[in-house]
Amino acid sequence: MPSPAQPSTDRSELSDRELLLALQRDEEWALDTLIERKSRQLLQHVYRMVGDREDARDIVQLSFVRVWEHRARFDARWSVNTWVYRIASNLAIDLLRSRRSQFRQLEPVRRHFSDLGEVKQRSEHARLGRQEVERILHELAAGLTEKQRQVFLLRELAGLSSREVAQIAGCRESTVRNHLFTARKHLRAELARRYPEYAGVGRSLPAPCEGAT
């Protein structure tokens, strides 16, 4: 059974690695501390990947269950942050792939109703709020592969380094740069095509750059 023992020092003063070492000693308080420390940013990242807050919460909760279950397998060459993000990102990708399979099955029905619908024109002077930006990003990112979406969100929005993203995504840094280049190019092109009235917003998406790191 996990030990209920508390650390003699303030939890906030402990490093992520110290918390993980405590986890590996079956000390449950360390998991609670890690959840408090990581949940908010992890929830934001997963939500951006899957586009649904309830699904994102479920994935984050499951991620910490996996952290506890596999605590003995932690590779000390990685940062704890990288390990946790990798677990959550892989779970998010599994969900996206499941959705894509379901979507393909329903595509004929969806296309029928889409043809009956009427697309409303957006005002050229509409003001973009944060929720609108998030909505547009989710819509445009739907055309990316799971890996491209993962790399873009980790690199551009979570602010992780190319090395960290490569570890999380399980690929080379050069592959990260390729995915990032493709994702940026797709998002900028789709923004210009679907939302020409928001053309200026495209400047907020970094321009494709072969030398991005």
- What would the pLDDT profile of 72-124 be if each residue is shown by its tens digit? 888 777 789 999 999 999 999 888 887 665 444 434 444 444 444 433 334 43
- Within a domain: 120: no
Q: Are residues 84 and 42 in the same domain?
A: yes
Show Cβ contacts of residue 64 under 8 Å, excluding neighbours closer than 6 positions.
Answer: 31, 34, 35, 39
Last residue of a domain, one of 50, 83, 102: 102
Question: Does residue 122 sit within a domain?
Answer: no
Given a contact cutoff of 8 angstroms between Cβ atoms, the answer to whether 50 and 153 are in contact is no
More confident residue, 201 or 190: 190
- Same domain flag for 64 and 139: no
A 10 A CB-CB count for 162 gives: 19
- Calpha distance 56→47 (Å, rounded): 5
Q: Each residue of 16-34: pLDDT tens digit?
A: 889 988 999 999 999 999 9
**What's the total number of domains in the chain?**
2
Question: Which of 64, 140, 48 has its CA nearest to residue 96?
Answer: 48
Report the half-sphere exposure of 201 (CA within 13 A, side-chain side).
23
Domain end call among 84, 102, 120: 102
Question: What local confidence, expressed as pLDDT, does residue 76 receive?
Answer: 74
17/97 Cα distance (integer angstroms): 32
pLDDT > 90: percent of the chain = 29
CATH of the domain at 153: 1.10.10.10
Among 64, 83, 102, where does a domain finish? 102
Q: Does the residue 57 lie in any domain?
A: yes
Residue 40 belongs to domain spanning:
14-102
Q: Is residue 198 part of a domain?
A: yes
Do both 154 and 199 map to the same domain? yes
- Yes or no: say if 87 and 66 are a contact pair by the CB < 8 Å rule: yes
Whether residue 2 is predicted with pLDDT greater than 50 in this model: the reply is no
Are 133 and 82 contained in the same domain?
no
- 151 and 195 belong to one structural domain: yes
208 within domain boundaries:
yes
Query: Are 82 and 151 members of one domain?
Result: no
Is residue 64 within 8 Å of residue 35, measured between CB atoms? Answer: yes
Give the DSSP per-residue string, 93-158: HHHHHHHHHHHHHHHHHHHHHHHHS-PPPPPTTPPP-HHHHHHHHHHHHTTS-HHHHHHHIIIIIS
CATH number, domain containing residue 27: 1.10.1740.10
189-193 average pLDDT score: 84
Judge if 162 and 87 occupy the same domain: no
